[in-house]
Amino acid sequence: MPALWRIHQVHHSDHDLDLTTGFRFHPLEGLLNQAALLLAIVILAPPPIAVLISELVLVAQNFLSHANVTIPPALEAPLRYIFITPHLHRAHHSIEAEAQNSNFGTSFSCWDRLFRSYHHAPVTGDQETALGLREVDVRKSTELPYLLALPFRARP
């Protein structure tokens, strides 16, 4: 959805994937996510402890999947069969559009296989994949005013 992508591209504008990428979201994305979460809570009425645990797991997985760590290939291969590993998620942050449009899962890789959005990144632990967005100026990609205005900029 183009309108949502314009907001979410702030997260993908980071050219150096690391733990801080897990914090890099436009405030509008946070508001939309929280509105959807609150609506789901109102409709489904889960126990409060379930909501708390779910959110804590989501935050932990968000930071882990964006961490600048290398898991040994012998461990990475079996882990990625079930979970989204940092290297597997790295493909989703690639500067290449085909890879960006893959590996959408946050915790479990089975969803990407089910919806045919799984992109098999080599299990080499290679950290050399070019990241970010071509249309985002690397020099400005850490400036808060630039990032806040990014969803509203005219497209080249």
Q: Where does the pLDDT of residue 77 fall: very low under 50, low under 70, confident under 90, or very high at 90 and above?
A: confident
Q: How far is CA 149 from CA 12, 21, 80, 130, in A?
A: 14, 18, 35, 24
Cβ neighbours for 92, distance < 8 A, ≥ 6 positions apart: 99, 100, 102, 103, 104, 119
Contact, 18 vs 131, CB < 8 A? no
pLDDT at 156 over 70: no
Q: What does the pLDDT read at residue 1?
A: 84
Q: What does the pLDDT read at residue 121?
A: 73
Q: Where does the pLDDT of residue 51 fall: very low under 50, low under 70, confident under 90, or very high at 90 and above?
A: very high
Could you write out the DSSP letters of every residue in 105-129? -SSBTHHHHHTT------TT-----
User: What's the predicted TM-score (pTM) here?
Assistant: 0.86
Q: What does the pLDDT read at residue 125?
A: 52
24-48: pLDDT as tens digits? 999 999 999 999 999 999 999 999 9
Query: Any idea where the domains of the chain sit in the sequence?
Result: 2-152
Q: Where does the pLDDT of residue 144 fall: very low under 50, low under 70, confident under 90, or very high at 90 and above?
A: very high
- What's the sign of the alpha-carbon dihedral 31, 36, 39, 40? negative
- What's the sign of the alpha-carbon dihedral 20, 21, 27, 29? negative
Q: Where does the pLDDT of residue 98 fall: very low under 50, low under 70, confident under 90, or very high at 90 and above?
A: confident
Contact, 80 vs 88, CB < 8 A? yes
Q: Which residues pair with 108 in a beta bridge?
A: 83
pLDDT at 124 over 60: no
